[in-house]
Amino acid sequence: MKEKDKLITAICVVAVFAALRCSGLALVSGISMEPTFHSGDFVFTGSADTYQVNDIVVCRFDGAKLKSIKRIIAEPNSTVEIKDEKCYVDGKYKFDSPGYNNKTWNLDDESYFVVGDNYNNSGDSRMYGPVQKEKIYKKVIWPK
């Protein structure tokens, strides 16, 4: 084997181990993320230091036993309001939210507001409140 081939092989081995260490596999359970993900789908997750609106994350709500896969719709220091069954972030309309009404959350420096893509069938921040950054474990990196 040529030196160049050995080097390429070594780099590939290191890259594979690094990818396996930094990522994980999560199983989607339930319908709250439809149509993006369906129950039984697998997603690859990775660590992240920062999160932003539209990131899909693996998180745990306070008091919950299981982790959830949800989409971030509001970052720290935002205001989320549900008024007349419509959800607004910092005054901008996001989506209809039947069954939820007249509630406001002022997010602190470490809080995120997360919801399922299937708005009408999702237990999320509208029900359990914002998620603290320390309760966000991974970000979905594939598929997106």
122 as an active site residue: the answer is no
- Residue in 68, 70, 122, 139 annotated catalytic: 70
Element (H, E) at 13: helix 3-22
Spatial strand order in the sheet of 111-115: 23-27, 42-46, 136-142, 56-59, 68-74, 111-115, 131-132
Residue 70 annotated as catalytic: yes
Note whether 71 and 115 are within 8 A (CB).
yes
Which residue numbers are catalytic?
A: 32, 70
